[in-house]
Amino acid sequence: MPIRDIDIITDRQSAAMQKEVKGFAAKLVRPAGIELDLAAAPEAIFAKNSPLWGVFAAYRKLDLHLPGIDEKLGGMGQIDPHARVLMAQSLGHADMGLAISLMVSDNAFGHIALLGDKALLKAVGDYCADSTSCSLIGSLPASFGVLPLTYEATKGPAPALTARPKGKQLEISGQLPRVFNANIASHLITDILVEPPDLPPWHGLAAIPLEIKGVTRGNPQAKTGQRSLNQASLSFENARIPAAFVQNLANPGFYESVERLTAERAQFIVSAYNGAALCAWEEALAYSKKRVQGGTPIFNHKNIRFQLFDMFKKIEASRSFAQRIASYNAVNPKSPSYPHAAGAKCLATETAVDVASQAIQIFGGYGLTKEFPLEKIFRDARVGMIEHGINEELALKAMEGA
């Protein structure tokens, strides 16, 4: 008897959407991820004929970039939180790098919508309507992980970018390393230290259109895993943006809205890694039924079944954690729990690495080759234990207020 799916989506429309995501992920995202992983140079990710563009366009045609963005701006508003978890999971199941790339863009535009400036709101409207050209893509620095910016503002290192007021504009200088989507994005959301001449500096959130003067995009970085995710440094030399493109993170209403988006991002990251783990498990299960060793499919060997069950149990634990946080966040959108987000992130990434590794072991030598999907899933998953906050550092931060 096949293993039952015990996920529950109560809203019918959301359930239909999740079904669409599953199909899109399997048909488009997965092959694109494999192709981009094998590309020799990181520039190939955003070449004209790259499958990346097909993925972005199809994603938007299905309106998958709309959930979370206000209906008044052309978005979809909030949808079934459990369905969102499963959608992120399906994308991670197909390709971790592209899943993060798509999510980063949506999350960045979610932030842009919060800033409230007219020009920016128009950009968000365009983003929602942009389903063919994909000329609007958002980007985030690698420091936008699962922990809130407010934490970084008080205890972390100072933001890498500084802004000095020049009339009604702000002049930005500094360098951001390893920005997600840096070479393909039209807009960047980042934290920034605003230094007015006579007042104490304050920590703000800025939206920076990347076509302006003074912005230099670095070379795309080669990576061990998640190679389909574009990453590069961005440097700013006296780049000017309107002062209204920056808001103080300490503003009461604004701060809570940023927290909500951080929680959304964390939820996405966690769910995508759970998807990667699930994918490795499904591959291992299917392979174990095909591969004959010692005169019988290896599925019939007790130790293989034991391994498969061990993987199943770990994945379900991590998936349940993600759904539990989603339920809580749906009810308390403005006060997410960061120890829980950090815990789920560490559990999900470590589960993905463990499970992918166990799956490789079941595949034997084939698990190590480029002809089978597992070595890629393993590399993609391994990146997660360091990206979005190194797991050990997250653990230390999460326990600080306990």
The residues that touch another protein, with contacts defined as CB under 8 A, are 40, 142, 156-157, 178, 221-225, 292-295, 303, 307, 353, 357, 360-361, 364-365, 367-371, 375, 378-379, 382-383, 385-387, 390-393, 396
User: For residue 102, which of 133, 129, 140 has the smallest C-alpha distance?
Assistant: 140
Measured from the CB atom, the residue of 28 and 352 that comes closer to another protein is 352
Minimum Å gap between C-beta 114 and another protein is: 27
Quick one: 181 or 307, whose CB is closer to another protein? 307
Nearer to another protein, 264 or 380 (CB): 380
Q: Closest approach of Cβ 57 to another protein, in Å? A: 28
Tell me which residue has tokens 């989507």. Answer: 181
Cβ neighbours of residue 218 closer than 8 Å, sequence gap 6 or more: 182, 232, 233, 234, 235
Residue spans of alpha helices (H) in 25-95: 30-38, 51-61, 81-94
* Cβ at position 103, least distance to another protein in Å: 18
Residue with tokens 């359930």: 15
Nearer to another protein, 307 or 323 (CB): 307
What's the min distance (Å) between Cβ of 162 and another protein? 18
Range 38-46, long-range pairs (CB < 8 A, 24+ positions) = 38/370, 39/227, 41/222, 42/219, 42/220, 42/221, 42/222, 42/223, 42/227, 42/230, 43/219, 43/220, 45/183, 45/184, 45/220, 45/227, 45/228, 45/229, 45/230, 46/183, 46/184, 46/220, 46/230
Q: Name the minimum Å distance from CB 260 to another protein.
A: 27
The four Cα atoms 102, 345, 376, 50 give a dihedral, to 10 degrees, of 10
Closest to another protein by CB, 85 or 104: 104
Of 237 and 393, the one with the shorter C-beta distance to another protein is 393
Task: Report in angstroms how near the CB of residue 221 gets to another protein at its nearest.
Answer: 7
CB 337 within 8 A of CB 328: yes
